[in-house]
Amino acid sequence: MLEKLKSIKDRFDCLTKEIADPQVIADTKTWQKKVKEHSNLQPLIEEYERYEKLTKDYEDAKILIDTESDAEMKSMLKDECENLKGKISESEEKLKILLLPKDENDTKNVILEIRGGAGGEESALFAHSLLRMYQMYCDSHKFKMEILNIEETELGGIKEVQALIKGKNAYARFKYESGVHRVQRVPETESQGRVHTSTATVAILPEMEDADVEINDKDIRIDLFRSSGAGGQHINKTESAIRITHFPTGIVVSCQDERSQTQNKEKAFAMLRAKVYDYYQQQKEAEYKQNRKSQVGTGDRSERIRTYNFPQGRVTDHRIGLSLYNINEFMNGDLDEMIDALTLADQQKKLSEQND
C-alpha cells in the first residue's frame, strides 16, 4: 500500500507543477483534465501526509522513551505512543477506503424516478411524500431539483415523476436510494384509522452526456402531443410535449413539463440517455451476480430496501439493518445519517472483498 501511495504522491506533485505551467494552461481542455485529476487526488494525498507525520511522531516518541531516564516523563511518552498508534491505525483505514476504485458516476448529476406501486391511491400519495423528502434534502444540501415529467392524481398523489438533480457528487449521495420503499401508515383516504401497507419504487440513474451514450436517429421515434395533467393542470393547446421511443431497448420516455417543445426535447433526451445507459449496465451486471452480492444494493429495482413505519416513528433500511426513530425529520429531508451508514457499509464490504 505504501509503495502505491508514494507513486500516487509523485503523480500528484507532477500535476501540481503542470497545472501551473503556462503552456498547459494555454490548452484549456488538457488543463481542465489535469486540474480535475489533481482535485480528485487531493483528499488521498492529505491523508497520506497526515499518516506520514503520525508515523514520524511515533518513531520519535519511541526513541525518546529509550533515552529518557525520568520515570514520569517515560510514562507520558508511552501514553503518547499508544495514542499515536491508534491514530496511525485510523489513518491506515481511511487510506484503504480512499484507495478503493472510484465509481466513475459519483460526480454526475442524477435522474430521479419515483413511481407509485402497490396500494392504490395511498401508494401515489406516498410517492408524493418521497418526492417532497428528496426535494427537502436537495434544498438543505445545495442540490438543485428540476422536474422533468410528472403524472399526478386527482387527490394530489403521483403516479410517476422524473426529476433531474444537479450538484457536486449528486450520484454519490443518492445512489443507494434505488429500490422498493414500503410505507406503513394510516392513509388520509382511510376513515377507519387502520394502518395500511403500500409501496413506491425509486430509481436513481446517473445523467449521461452525449459522448457517454450513443443513440442513433434510426433507433428512435419522436412523437409530439399536447401536455395534460390532473384536474386540467398544465394544459397546453399546442403540441409541446415530447415522447421518445428507443427501439433496441423498448424504453419510452416523455416530457411535458415545459411550454417549449425544444426544452421538453432536451429533457426527454437527458432521461433517455440515462435509461439506455442503465439498461445496458443492468445487463452487464447480471453477468456478474456473484460480485453484485458484495454491494449494498445500488441498482436492483425489485429489492425492498426500506420501510417507513409511521405508527412506530421508525425508518428501517433492510440492507444494513439500521433503524432510525426520527421518521418526521427523515421525511423532512434529514437523510444524512442513513446515507452515511449505507456508504460506509458499501466501503467496508469492498474492503473485505479486497482482503479475501
pLDDT at 299 over 50: no
Please give the residue range of the domain that contains residue 189: 110-348
Q: Domain boundary at 98, 120, 139, which? A: 98
In a domain, 356, yes or no: no
- Asked whether residue 137 falls in the same domain as residue 280, the answer is yes
Least confident of 29-33, 109-113, 129-133, 180-184: 29-33
E strands, 142-178, in order: 144-152, 158-166
- Asked whether residue 156 falls in the same domain as residue 65, the answer is no
pLDDT for the residue 308? 97
How many structural domains does the chain have? 2
- Asked whether residue 195 falls in the same domain as residue 336, the answer is yes
The residue that leads in pLDDT, 256 or 185, is 185
In a domain, 147, yes or no: yes
In a domain, 233, yes or no: yes
- Asked whether residue 89 falls in the same domain as residue 115, the answer is no
In a domain, 23, yes or no: yes
H or E stretch covering 222 = strand 220-225
| d(C-alpha 76, C-alpha 53), whole Å | 20
Q: Domain boundary at 70, 98, 126, which? A: 98
Q: Averaged over 51-73, what is the pLDDT?
A: 90
- CATH assignment of the domain containing 182: 3.30.70.1660
- Asked whether residue 211 falls in the same domain as residue 132, the answer is yes
pLDDT for the residue 143? 97
H or E stretch covering 184 = strand 179-185
pLDDT at 198 over 60: yes
- Asked whether residue 268 falls in the same domain as residue 300, the answer is yes
- Nearest CA to 126 among 203, 183, 194, 192? 183
Q: Averaged over 6-29, what is the pLDDT?
A: 92
Give the position of cell 405508527: 311
The residue that leads in pLDDT, 23 or 353, is 23
pLDDT for the residue 272? 92
> What is residue 225's DSSP assignment?
E
Q: Which three cell numbers stand for residue 201?
A: 419504487
Q: Which three cell numbers stand for residue 244?
A: 421518445
Q: Are 204 and 143 in contact (CB under 8 A)?
A: no
pLDDT at 229 over 70: no
- Nearest CA to 100 among 175, 178, 44, 177? 44
Q: Domain boundary at 98, 122, 145, which? A: 98
In a domain, 353, yes or no: no
- Asked whether residue 327 falls in the same domain as residue 239, the answer is yes
DSSP 290-327: HHHTTS--SS-TT-EEEEEETTTTEEEETTTTEEES-H
Question: With bands split at pLDDT 50, 70 and 90, how would you rate the model's confidence at 350?
Answer: confident
Q: Averaged over 307-319, what is the pLDDT?
A: 96
Q: Which residues pair with 158 in a beta bridge?
A: 152
In a domain, 354, yes or no: no
The residue that leads in pLDDT, 214 or 332, is 332
- Asked whether residue 72 falls in the same domain as residue 117, the answer is no
- Asked whether residue 190 falls in the same domain as residue 61, the answer is no
- Asked whether residue 174 falls in the same domain as residue 138, the answer is yes
Residue 336's Cα: distance from chain center in Å?
Answer: 12
> What is residue 185's DSSP assignment?
E
In a domain, 202, yes or no: yes
In a domain, 355, yes or no: no
- Asked whether residue 56 falls in the same domain as residue 138, the answer is no
